[in-house]
Structure 1
């Protein structure tokens, strides 16, 4: 079974590891779409701390990840699901309900986020220290 998830994976932390390992446990191949720098800016209004190339390297180096690609557009998610012959889409529960329309192509599962950790919070803490 092919599993897919998407994310920016900026300022990589244990919450990212948790969701990727759990996603990998659902099937035989985990494919990860990493948001491009441009897509991240469009979604979050800021440039990622780590550039696209570095974030791809971080995610591809994980033993639980089988394949990585650059997610260029939110509008292409259905196409990515079809192209990679995906059986299950996994997202964090902060996105609950927002990906349900992809259930026409594959099963959609939302995993609970790791409590008390997020990239946004980490960035805010670092800014406050400066």
Structure 2
């Protein structure tokens, strides 16, 4: 019998932690559905994405562990998705622990630990420092890198 899992997320600035999530889910399921949050839904959640929905969903579609990609448009669609796709496992990061326990009546809810040291929020925070750089700072950094490269040649 085919075991189907579903997970939900924004998947902005796709990174190793996202990939590991999909890999780990495929270790105990045969078919993985990934619901990618739309830009409109992220606005309702108070999240601002860097990568537009159309690009995020295209990235996820092209990950070999993913069998189907759907749009996540609201909080309450999870139950309908579980029923419509005959889902055996709802899998979320452990930062959501306890939030979807009521869905255990319809499938097994699993909260997986997040990958240490990486998250889209961390990436966004580290990138935010670059916003304050001016062109002369960037040119200086490029000159230093060129000097290092010349020394290594």
- Quickly name the TM-score band, shorter chain normalised: over 0.9
How far apart in 2 are the matches of 1:41 and 1:35? 10
- How far residue 46 of structure 1 moved from its aligned partner, in angstroms, is 3.5
Q: CA RMSD in A?
A: 0.9
Compare relative contact order (CA 8 Å, sep 6+) and give the higher one, 1 or 2: 1
Q: CA deviation at 1:117?
A: 1.2
Match of 2:52 in 1: 51
Corresponding residue number in structure 1 for 2:23: 21
In structure 2, the residue matched to 1:85 is: 86
Runs (4+) of structure 1 moved beyond 3 Å?
A: none
Q: Which residue of 1 aligns with 2:34?
A: 32
2:103 equivalent in structure 1? 102
* Structure 2 residue matching 1:74: 3-state secondary structure: coil
The superposition leaves residues 26-45 of structure 1 with CA deviations (integer Å, 9 ceiling, x where unpaired) of 111000000011111111x2
How many residue pairs align between the two structures? Answer: 129
Whole-angstrom distance in 2 between the partners of 1:119 and 1:20: 16
What's the TM-score once normalised by structure 2's chain length? 0.82
Q: Paired residue for 2:67?
A: 66
**Structure 1 position 17, deviation (Å):** 0.6
Q: Distance in 2 between matches of 1:64 and 1:75?
A: 25
Could you tell me the TM-score, scaled by structure 1's length? 0.96
Correspondence for 1:7: 9
Gaps of at least 5 residues in structure 1 are none
